[in-house]
Amino acid sequence: MDMFSMGQWLDDLIEGYSHGMKQKTVMAQALLHDPEIIIVDEPMVGLDPKSIRLVGEIFADLSKKGTTIFMSTHTLSHAEQLCHRIGIINRGVLVAAGSIDELMKVAHTANRELEEIFFTLTEEDSTVR
């Protein structure tokens, strides 16, 4: 809880926490036992910018130490910044997986932006946002 600067709320009921505070609590619980594998769904939702950066740094540090992290996110910039390998799922089907460079090859594009790679691989119109 110190990592997420939540010490002052330890005596409060979790039901009174904001969404971001609940998200931090869940993250703290997930990290408590020093797992070899972490599976997270939208870990940045509800977090303030400082906490988003902190979670990214935690994930990077854990990855360097050998922890495997599976992260599901719709925020492609987070995936682009944090992930070594990315899987792109379209309508429940894994259409491509790999590093940005590998995804570029599959998408037949020179564009390194994950969003554009995603739209190319899912045959969406990249001009419509």
DSSP-derived secondary structure for 103-122 = HHHHHT-----HHHHHHHHT
- Residue 66 φ/ψ region, left for φ over 0, alpha for ψ in the -120 to 50 degree band, beta for the rest: left
How far apart are alpha carbons 112 and 86 in whole angstroms? 13
CATH 3.40.50.300 boundaries in the chain: 1-75
Rounded to 5 degrees, φ, ψ at 71 are -125, 125
Q: Specify the pLDDT at position 124.
A: 57
**52-56, 71-75, 121-125: least confidently modelled range:** 121-125
Tell me which CATH homologous superfamily contains domain 1-75: P-loop containing nucleotide triphosphate hydrolases (3.40.50.300)
- Give pLDDT, residue 127: 46
Residue 126 has pLDDT above 50, yes or no: no
- Is 50 exceeded by the pLDDT of residue 128? no
Which residues of the chain form beta strands (DSSP E)?
37-41, 68-72, 86-90, 93-98
Task: Indicate whether 129 pLDDT > 60.
Answer: no
Burial tier of 23 (Cβ tally within 10 Å: 0-12, 13-18, 19+): buried
Binning pLDDT at 50, 70 and 90, where does residue 42 land?
A: very high
CB proximity list for 58: less than 8 A, separation 6 or greater: 3, 27, 31
- Average pLDDT estimate for 52-56: 93
Report how far residue 29's alpha carbon sits from residue 63's, in angstroms, rounded to the nearest whole number. Answer: 18
